[in-house]
Homo-oligomer: A and B are copies of this chain.
Amino acid sequence: MAKAIANRDEDYSQWYIDIVKKANLADNSAVRGCMVIKPYGYALWENMRDQLDKMFKETGHVNAYFPLFVPKSLFEAEEKNAEGFAKECAVVTHYRLKNNPDEPGKLMVDPEAKLEEELVVRPTSEAIIWNTYRDWINSYRDLPLLINQWANVVRWEMRTRLFLRTAEFLWQEGHTAHSTKEEAIEEAKRMQDVYAQFAEEYMAMPVVRGTKSESERFAGADDTYTIEALMQDGKALQAGTSHFLGQNFAKAFEVKFSNENNQEEYVWATSWGVSTRLIGGLIMTHSDNEGLVLPPKLAPVQVVIIPIPKPGAEIDEVAEKLMRDLKAKGIRVQYDTDAKKRPGFKFAEHELRGVPVRVGIGKRDLEKGVVEIARRDTKEKSAQPLEGVVDHIEQLLGDIQDNLFNRALKFREEKTTVVDTFEEFKAVLKEDIPGFISAHWDGTNETEQKIKELTKATIRCIPNDAPEEEGQCVFSGKPSSRRVLFAKAY
């Protein structure tokens, strides 16, 4: 095939880029660090977005839209948040271009159109949203406010990688306001659960639910709840975060409500987000040397039908009936009738695109009343009787979804190592596929930073399900009461 991709075991990084580009998910653009999401990649994002949106609405949230720009004076109001994002802000300073008198046909920034106050292109929207919430919240009757936004954001990253880290990306950001601390924490944890459920049930990507250490928290949060996934190369990916923001933004933007006793209180806040980064996670959880592998629940095309060797009246008739029957079951199906390409070429092409199930319809097979079914995940092929094939395919899509999850879960379990000494810790990190390390930590920022400097591994999270266990910090030897998860991370 023309579109060869790098070998996954030899050059994981190049393999990843090849998959993104050659499966037509995304490409670099003329703008430094910004990507173009191509139609096939965007169709995948639409499926993810629509499912997440459904889950947000089922948990009581509504969508709204807030401005792209944040005036500098609002941006700097919550100091920790501002400090956390200041270094990566795109800033609008002018509002007009004019003809360049020195270069006919060229434009220049019009120095007379300088803004009085610079505008930051939102890297996240807490500031602009909490400045708005001040007008929306007066009384406890206005709470909770459960709002989500689908938007683009910009963070001027120096080292970018398609989907995983781009200067502009698409995401959703939930911003909720509550009358009590308990309710806000409950909301932040609920959304962590929603993210985990989406990752596991739809992306077939197992995740560890946990809490971030202080140094890894979102800038401006009192606590950050995270879902962490393990990629095939043994590095972790932070896949979604949900923040308990305390009263930090309420205080910065003077957002108070009068409670049932008519007393004024600051409002409690959460925010939570997932982004197009999830597509990177999806790729690095399931794909292989033949290309993309997609979980059926999110695949833009779930079943492709290929005529062998090419379309013809008899094959068309069978294929079109099969299409209708599959569509009637809500299955997304494509009939690839391109007569210019040979079946073998098409097989490779749809493998590269990660289509979960391939149905080959050939004349000789039809005489026997069978078609050939191939599954993308295991590459197993089998002849299936035409009768009952729709039910078989429906079942198979479910099996593939389950198999992808179980395979990834097994991988993560195998690649999670419990260590008790720093020697073991370092040895694990030297392996080809290091994975998660479960180790005791003394709870200090100092130790965490020291470990990071020495090994590049960071604390991914303090897992929700980590049992109380007396032990000694793997680095300092100081006492610790539970293990945390370390890993090198994207």
Contact flags (1/0) for A21-32 with B, using CB distance below 8 Å? Answer: 000000101110
User: Is chain A's interface secondary structure helix, strand, loop, or mixed overall?
Assistant: mixed
Contact A43 to B29, CB < 8 A, known contacts A68-B168, A76-B105, A97-B86? no
Q: A86 near B96 (CB under 8 angstroms)?
A: yes
Contact A109 to B132, CB < 8 A, known contacts A42-B65, A97-B86, A119-B31? no
A38 on the B face (CB < 8 A): yes
Chain B residues near A41 (CB, 8 Å)?
Answer: 64
Which of B96, B119, B168 is within 8 Å of A89, CB to CB?
A: B96
Which of B31, B71, B93 is within 8 Å of A70, CB to CB?
A: B31
A489 on the B face (CB < 8 A): no
Q: B119 near A97 (CB under 8 angstroms)?
A: no
Within 8 A of B (CB), among A64-96: 64-72, 74-76, 79, 82, 86-96
Chain B residues near A66 (CB, 8 Å)?
Answer: 29, 36
Copies of chain A in the complex:
2
Chain B residues near A89 (CB, 8 Å)?
Answer: 95-97
A156 on the B face (CB < 8 A): yes
Chain B residues near A62 (CB, 8 Å)?
Answer: 39, 42-43
Contact A95 to B91, CB < 8 A, known contacts A37-B65, A63-B43, A132-B36? yes
Determine which residue in A45, A64, A88, A109 has the highest number of CB atoms from chain B within 10 A of its CB, and name it: A64
Chain B residues near A88 (CB, 8 Å)?
Answer: 95-96
A466 on the B face (CB < 8 A): no
Bound complex: CA of A177 vs CA of B91, how far in Å? 33
A interface residues, tally (CB under 8 Å): 64
Bound complex: CA of A45 vs CA of B149, how far in Å? 13
Bound complex: CA of A38 vs CA of B82, how far in Å? 25
Closest CB in chain B relative to A408 CB, distance in Å: 27
Report the nearest B residue to A276, measured CB to CB. Answer: B65
Closest CB in chain B relative to A490 CB, distance in Å: 21
Determine which residue in A39, A107, A128 has the highest number of CB atoms from chain B within 10 A of its CB, and name it: A107
Report the nearest B residue to A63, measured CB to CB. Answer: B42
Which of B38, B79, B121, B131 is within 8 Å of A92, CB to CB?
A: B121
